[in-house]
Structure 1
Amino acid sequence: MPGKVPHFVKYNLFFKMQINGFVEKNDIIGAIFGQLEGILPPELDPQNLLNTGRIGRIEVSLTHREGKTFAEIMIPCSLNKVEASVLAAAVETINKIGPASAETHLDRIENILEERRKIIIERASEILSSWYSYERTEIQPEKIPRLIEEKARKTKMITIGTENLPAGVGTLKSEEIIIVEGRADVINLIRYGFDNVVAVGGSGTIPNTIVELSKKKTTTAFVDGDRAGLLLLKSLLQAADIDYIAIAPRGKEVEDLTFKEIKRSLDNRIPTENLTLDLDKLEKIIDHYFVKIEKREGMETEDINLLIEAMLDKISGSRKFVAVDQNINEIISGNIALLEALLEHLPKNVYGIITDVELNEKIINKAKEMGIAFIAYRGRSNNIEIIRLKNNTDIEKSS
């Protein structure tokens, strides 16, 4: 019988029916609508439910043997549990199909939402595991020079825009670009295989070509690790649509960086969403950035707390969590709503969890069971709150 398709199916109701005679599918479907008419409240009348899309097309499969008909009936519905129970009980009262007597009983209820949740969690776990496998695939260090040479032979520097800005050929086709200061920076990045790079040049103002490119592409401003780099960064943030910033190690220039230093800086780039244009405040954020990427042996508690504070600043207002290792390096991040489901699937090297909101006791206890050492968040007074889940955690309890 035609009707609207349910907006979404919550449950599938499965029934088994035995009829003492030979009947067809339409006989059974007709009996469901005919015999229940007037028995249930109008809002639960099967015909009204079908017309409003709260139940879907009723599926019936039949077998005939020894003069009897055996039917399996499936009714998809978007009803709540009480309404679905009433409908199921009503269908069980059907005891005749035409002149033939019948017996009907509910066989099972399939919770579609729960099944979908299980599928999502299972598949998300598989994807997450695969993701870590991809990230563990590393280029052998001894192969880097040869790979760079092969890449460099296929890559050359070009000029783009009316200002004839130095750039790599990848700038034209890549969805992401790296913006640097000068020609020497472009040459160095191309040398190590980063051909989606363009320089602002030495005019003192941000070229219009850079401004227009930043509107169309995802941009990372990659500047020197000194005061001059900070001033260029401020100019870029004012004039162009910059998505991320990356900074050379403290005191170094992009044109002098090694492959490892370039990769580390780009891997640790930070989003510009909450960055200020106030130079003093920007310097403070950059100091936190340097603390993060300058990995030192025997890190002190004060350093670790600075890293946690920088991470909290980064995710402020996002309702996200970040799982970190013992050096407070990000391993994985995501929406806070997914944390409970993902906890038991996190990598073994997760040391702590930094969140934008306070977690409930259930998640905290589960994190402790999984061996997480600490959870950090900002309290109501904007102070950093740190919950130590292990006694030997090298961080203060709160700050």
Structure 2
Amino acid sequence: GEILISSSLDRAETAILAASLETIDRVGPCVAKVVVESVEDIRVSKRKKIVDRAKEILIERFDDGTIDSDELLDDVRQSLRVEKIATLGEDKAPAGPNVLDSDAIIIVEGRADVINLLRYGIKNAVAVEGTNIPRTVIELCEKKTTTAFFDGDRGGELILRELLQVADIDYVAFSPRGKSVEDMTRKEVVKTLRNKVPVEYVRDQYFEDAAELPELRGQKGGSEGDDAPARRSRQPARRREPGSAPQNIRDHYDDVKGNNLARFLNDDLAVVREIPADEVEKAIETIESTATGLVLDRPVDQKLLDRMAQKGLAYVAARNYPGIVKRPLSVRLLKMSG
């Protein structure tokens, strides 16, 4: 038979007890022999059982992937941002929480773009979700200073063209070619919005003939036409301080205008190289790879435009574009006036 004896003694006392048990030679009238087979510390057994079970739970019960505190915080913040997205009007256009209260709005393509801008604290964005511009967005454009901010692809170009025909847009912000607003970083978003240009500079890029240009709200009759100029008059033009560094494309054009100069600019609108405007064709062959745009005091013809497309420049700002038959999709034409 087996005898199980529990002991609350320490190890030495328990060993003495086990040894004394082996001295027993009779149990009642029967001859007996007692052999101690093992002495087990139950605390060690429990610890081993706990460790083995923990390993099983870790391997089998946890979901795939690790739980990172930063990812957990991002998930919580993301859910809060999604909850903040409102819908406007009967069209239920996705919008940030400050669209109705803000004096200025940003029009983007879709809900994901609104979420990305919310991530960076921009709460006055509204989405059009396609080329069928919601009536609610059109009405907002009539009342507020509006910036169009779309993806740098063909879809973004089509939406912008449609928007220019039906809504009163004040500025256009061009995202990098092939870049979606929803994928842009904070630095890229801030830089792009800072470098927005007045809509007049890009309107000719999308409409070939003057007759095709949409009328400005200020030229239309009725209460809307009377109210739009008043709204614009409340937005004074930014005046550049004498001697200050250029902050946008218009400032660079003002610097080269009348001086027969040309400037190659990088993504930050810093000057990569400044040369006489007549030497652009020669300089463009050896221009640094950091150059992304060109501002010059002369007309741009088809030959120069083709060379710019080959070098990967994203835009050109000039006073006119005579004889342009084929416009490269990769180069934006900014027609400067004044």
Instruction: Name whichever structure is richer in strand by fraction.
Output: 1
Q: TM-score range by the shorter chain?
A: 0.3 to 0.5
Q: TM-score, normalization: structure 1?
A: 0.37
Q: TM-score, normalization: structure 2?
A: 0.43
